């Protein structure tokens, strides 16, 4: 299936200050390019950038994508950048501590709507 979190991360990064730098970094990291110039304003780069590799298509259980959450490389990258920017990114409701889930925090009842 199409990697919806990957597409969403691109849209999210476009809204941030230094978006062109972050999008370029994101593109390099997701593609597995380890020979990159890390932006100084983000501090020290992580030791293992392979954690953030991702692909346009993903194989995950539908239930995880919809309810439980998935943490592909693109979402791990958002968590990394948010941590490096001291939590200043306003994450959309579909991105929580369990990763990306279309109906994060909802369980089919009116209690969580």
Domain ranges of the chain: 4-112
Express each pLDDT in 50-77 by its tens digit.
999 999 999 999 989 998 899 999 999 9
Residues facing 95 on adjacent strands: 100
Question: Would you call 90 exposed, middle or buried from its count of C-beta atoms within 10 A (0-12, 13-18, 19+)?
Answer: exposed
Q: What percent of the chain has pLDDT over 90?
A: 62
Q: What percent of the chain has pLDDT over 70?
A: 92
Structure confidence at residue 34 (pLDDT): 79
**CA 59/CA 34 separation, integer angstroms:** 24
Structure confidence at residue 107 (pLDDT): 60
Task: From 42, 38, 49, select the one nearest 82 (Cα to Cα).
Answer: 42
Structure confidence at residue 1 (pLDDT): 85
Task: From 4, 23, 19, select the one nearest 99 (Cα to Cα).
Answer: 4
Question: Would you call 6 exposed, middle or buried from its count of C-beta atoms within 10 A (0-12, 13-18, 19+)?
Answer: buried
Which run of H or of E encompasses 82?
A: helix 73-84
Q: Which of 21-25, 46-50, 104-108 has the lowest mean pLDDT?
A: 104-108
Classify residue 66 by its DSSP letter.
I
pTM of the model: 0.85
């Amino acid at each position: 299936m199409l990697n919806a979190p990957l597409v969403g991360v691109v849209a999210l990064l476009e809204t941030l200050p230094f978006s062109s730098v972050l999008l370029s970094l994101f593109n390099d990291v997701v593609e597995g390019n380890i020979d990159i110039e890390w932006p100084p304003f983000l501090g020290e780069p992580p030791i293992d950038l392979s954690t953030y590799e991702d692909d346009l298509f993903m194989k995950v259980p539908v239930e995880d994508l919809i309810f439980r959450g998935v943490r592909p490389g693109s979402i791990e990258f958002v968590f990394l950048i948010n941590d490096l920017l001291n939590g200043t990114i306003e994450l959309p409701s579909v991105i929580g501590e369990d990763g990306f889930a279309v109906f994060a925090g909802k369980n089919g009842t009116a209690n969580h709507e």
